[in-house]
Structure 1
Amino acid sequence: MDERLMFLFKRRSIRAFHRDKSVEEKDIKALLEAGMAAPSARNLKPWHFIVVTDREMLDKLSVAHPYAEMLREATLCIAVCADPEISERYWVQDCSAATENILIAAANIGLGAVWLGCHPREERKKAIKPLLGIPDNIELLSLIAIGHPAEEKEPRTQYDETRVHRERW
């Protein structure tokens, strides 16, 4: 592994958290700054973020999304949303970049996080949008479960030479 890229390789999907340790407000702001530092097509920045720390709401979200049980232990969830009127063609890419920036930032400030996909699964969006009061004209791309990790995973690269093509396929 290239040591210069360790900040990327230490980003791992963390699904176990210390329920009794909340994420500090300064860290929440840092995560949001990271999300908003993502590139976006034509610099339109179609994203909106919903910060959820309420225990009751985290528990509701853990039921609304079929793979979100870890939200019962996480102390923070960030819902990454988009206004498709701002960027109809590229909101998915823009908000995916924001989601990944948040995941990388979380790992590098000592937090654990995992990406929970919502878009394009209509049944997931239908279950979650009303809980979070998301307007009909706003899209929900992802939920990010975040907290102090209760599991450790070693940094890794997933480099696979068979996936690399030079000059042509």
Structure 2
Amino acid sequence: MPEIIKNGRVQSDDWQVLRLAEGEAAADAVLPAGHVIVPLATWQARRAELLPKAEAGTLGVWLAGDEDPAALAADLPALPVVAVDFPKFADGRGYSLATLLRTRLAYEGELRAIGDVLRDQFFFLLRCGFSVLQPREGKYTTAQLEAALASLRDFTNPYQGAVDRPEPLFRRQPRSPRQEDAAR
């Protein structure tokens, strides 16, 4: 069972990510039992069949970096989990997808980063709106994930606005009248 970072702690997770084999048709994918996160193509090909599972809280959908999250806009209220795949650490499109899901599409459910999710990126992934970080299984030990979790507190007051804190630091800091006059 993979370990994830969720709600400020490391925990085991029973969600399975379904990945299609080379040449496998999305409509023919065999879904494992239990909680499963399917590719967008599988969701689109079998939506009528899969929607009741999503509404029951046992099925989510994952997006690749080149897929449009607006394709899920009408279904977001039914999806307990939306995941964004990072096929390699240098692919930053997932950050934009997370921001779009949280801001423009107002997705409030669990937003999960999956794939090549590295410790150095954890802080920035959370700032973009991810609520769960799921590195590849076996990538980190529990102790390494605990250390990574502790390191997330290294930055207590970020300067820039982001999904997690929309106001930039200068807007969050109270200013005295004297400072305001000097700024003019």
TM-score in terms of structure 2 length: 0.23
* Higher RCO structure, 1 or 2 (CA under 8 Å, sep 6+): 1
TM-score in terms of structure 1 length: 0.24
